[in-house]
Every structure is written in structure tokens, then in C-alpha cells.
Amino acid sequence: MKNLLAPQDLQFAVTVNEAARSAAEHADIIAEPGFGKHFTDHMVDICWSEHGGWHRPRVQPYGPIQLDPAAAVLHYAQEIFEGLKAYRHPDGSIWTFRPEANAARMQRSAARLALPELPTEYFIESLRQLIAVDGRWVPSAPETSLYLRPFMFAKEAFLGVRPAKKVNYYVIASPAGAYFTGGVTPVSIWVTTHYARAGRGGMGAAKTGGNYASSLVAQQEAYEHGCAQVLFLDSETSTYLEELGGMNVVFVTKDGTLITPESSSILEGITLDSILQLARDRGLKTEQRRITIDEVREGVASGEIVEMFACGTAAVITPIAAFKADGYTIGDENAPAGELTLSLREELTGIQQGRVEDRHGWMLRLDA
């Protein structure tokens, strides 16, 4: 697909929001941001068309998007998104974590959904442009951040079933508070046997809303059983582990090996990849392979599996105390967080927040 704008020609038009929040309103929001509740004053918008390629990049006031009722996304769910964070370091500078990996994943998602692939340079520049006008929204309290949400969808008004010829890419941002306000607390996870997140040949490896929509009823089931999240098994046999509703899962054996499920229907996790690299830096072994729920049950019972955790952009690492399902529980709901789990979380968040050396060059400054 065409990309008519060269990176050096990517000149954003900026329209300042005349109704931007006052200093007092801003301070109140930053003091208690929550997650995904409040949004910054501006957003990025870049258009794409079959004949014009990517064009008209701009930063504009945050606000409603006008859509034709026949817009393809409303009927055929042709959309994708990403999630990453901007962090304020101790010297006041603003950084993000491995944005090129998010850009690459968004390109893979776009290819699966028959959407145009946004070049990495455009993706990163869109983040820089938003920070240039909304940098004040990056909080500085410990473990806080500005959550960045790039997304793309089919905007063409057309009811035929084919890839849309008009698409828009946006970036919005939302200040995020500390995920664990009272310390990192282990959670229980519900193992669903009624629902599957994705199947072979489906969209499981793409970051698209349909995958999250399919997880919501199972997530509801998890809440009803007193669990914080839901674990999905493979759709064919309900035997092999896949992922949680929005996070990857990792098991630590007594010899220090980190094991995580492998499947063509699992979304590749950037946080997961980073954690596995940090573990290898410590001389630990890592394995990405198929793993059954019976292997987990037997491993926990025998003491072969000594720690369990989930990982993703929002919480970074969440310790898992137990898995619950109809008829059984794996682990102990009152188990404390594992030592390695907490140590890896401390190291990764330290890199992101500028407290620990970035040996791999993962951080990119956005306000330079």
C-alpha cells in the first residue's frame, strides 16, 4: 500500500485546544488519575486512502470523531490498536519504552486486518507530536505514567464486504495512576472451559478489539468467581494454555526457568519479551512452548513450579497466587508474591522510570 509522505516531509499541522483544562483542573486529575478515565487536551489524526496513501497529519483538540453510519468499522470491525506509556524521569524528561516494537506489532495487526501499515517513523513521530503539546500530562509520582493509545480503523462509508479504501489513525492519551496502590498483590485467575479467545487461523495474534470483545463474557465469569482475570485455553482441545484476557502468563520452576505458552493465536507481548530478556541477562533459562493446564496443576502440586505471574503494559507484572476452575484450584489464594517475580518487576519498572540502567537501549526520549 502507498506511503506517499517521506518521513522528512511528515509535517504536522497543530491546532491548539482553546478549551484546554485549567491548571487547577489538571492538578486535580493528575493527583488521582485512575486508568483510562481522563484524557489529555489533544489527539493525533492521520488519514489514509487507497490513492493518496498517508496524508494530512495533524494534532487537534481532543474530542468526538465524526463517523458516517455506514463507516465500515461499525459493521465489520476492521480496527486495531496499541498501548504503551510515556514516563517522566527524575530529571523531568519524558521517555517511552520500546515504541519500535509497538509499531512493528501494529504493522502485523494491520496486515492481518487488511489495513494499511503505518511506517515506524510515522508511529514514533505521532507520539512525539502529541507529547510536544500535552507533555504536562505526564505525571511524576512513583509508578505513574501517561498511557498512549494509538489506534486505526476503517472509516470509509461502504457496506460491501472488502477492505476499506479510507482509514484513519489516531493517538489519544490518558494519565495513569499506580496499578498497585497498596503494594504488589497476588491475584487469583479463573480458567474458563466455556469460552475461547481465538482459534487457529484467527485473529489471536493481532491487537484488535474483536479479541477483547470475545473475552468480556469470560471476564464476567471470572469476577463472579472472585477472580481478577480469566485464562483462556486452546479452542480445539481446551488443554493448552494461551493467554489471559489482556496479559501473557509466565511460570517459574524451582531451577529458575521461566516458561510461557506458545501458540499462533497468542498476541506477542512486548512486556513479556522484555522480561524474558532480563531473565536471560541473569543467566536464567527461558522457554516458550506449549504447556497444558495439567502440567501446571501437577507442577504446582509437586513444587516444580514455584512462582506464577501475568505481564502486560498496564500492570507490568502481576503475581498470580492461584488458578481456579470448576472443580479445582491450582495454588493457594493466600500465597505471597514470588521473589523472582518481584525482582523482575522492580528491574523493568526501574528501567522504564529511569532508575535502572537501560542496557538494551529500550527507552526513547519523546521530548527531545
Which tens digits make up the pLDDT trace of 115-152?
Answer: 999 999 999 999 999 999 999 999 999 999 999 999 99
pLDDT tens-digit series, residues 272-305:
999 999 999 999 999 999 999 999 999 999 999 9
Asked if 29 contacts 21 with a C-beta cutoff of 8 angstroms, the reply is yes
| Alpha-helical regions (H) of the chain | 23-31, 72-76, 99-112, 120-134, 209-224, 270-281, 293-302, 339-352
In whole angstroms, give the CA distance from residue 309 to residue 322. Answer: 10
Under DSSP, is residue 341 helix (H, G, I), strand (E, B) or coil? Answer: helix
pLDDT value, residue 179: 82
99-112 helix and 270-281 helix, angle to the nearest 10 degrees:
140
Degrees to nearest 5, angle at CA 206 with 205 and 207:
125
Residue among 311, 106, 277 nearest 205 (CA): 106
Give me 40's grid cell: 489529555
Cβ neighbours of 62 (radius 10 Å): 18
**pLDDT tens column, 83-96:** 999 999 999 999 99
Whether the CB-CB separation of 333 and 321 falls below 8 Å is answered with: yes
pLDDT at position 8 = 55
pTM for this model (two decimals)? 0.95
Task: Report the distance separating Cα 304 and Cα 307, nearest Å.
Answer: 9
State the pLDDT at residue 2.
46
Indicate whether 4 pLDDT > 60. Answer: no
Question: In the predicted model, is pLDDT for residue 7 greater than 70?
Answer: no
Q: What is the mean pLDDT of the chain?
A: 95
Q: What is the pLDDT of residue 178?
A: 87
Q: What confidence score (pLDDT) does residue 234 get?
A: 95
Helix/strand/coil for 273: helix
Q: Three cell numbers at 220?
A: 464476567
- Which letter, b or e, does each residue of 209-232 get, where b requires 16 or more Cβ atoms within 10 Å of its Cβ? ebbeebbeebbebbeeeebbbbbb
Per-residue pLDDT tens over the stretch 298-339: 999 999 999 999 999 999 999 999 999 999 999 999 999 999
> How large is the C-alpha radius of gyration of the chain?
21
Judged against a pLDDT cut of 90, whether residue 341 lies above it is answered with: yes
Cα–Cα dist 332/308, whole Å: 11
Is residue 263 within 8 A of residue 269, CB to CB? The reply is: no
* Residue 1 pLDDT class (50, 70, 90 cuts): very low
56 pLDDT band (50/70/90 cuts)? very high
Which pLDDT belongs to residue 368? 81
CA–CA separation, 304 vs 254, rounded Å?
Answer: 5
Q: What is the 3-state secondary structure (H, E, C) of 148-208?
A: EEEEEEECCECCCCCCCCEEEEEEEEEEECCCCCCCCCCEEEEECCCCCCCCCCCCCCCCC
183 confidence band (pLDDT: 50, 70, 90): confident
Written as one letter, the residue type at 365 is: R
Residues of the chain with pLDDT > 70: what percent? 97
Largest Cα span, the chain: 63
Cβ atoms within 10 Å, residue 255: 9
Euclidean distance between CA atoms 185 and 27, whole angstroms: 28
Triad 229, 233, 237: Cα angle to 5°: 160
DSSP conformation letters of 232-261: EEPTTTS-BEEEESS-EEEEEETTS-EEEE
Q: Reply yes or no on whether the pLDDT at 356 is more than 70.
A: yes
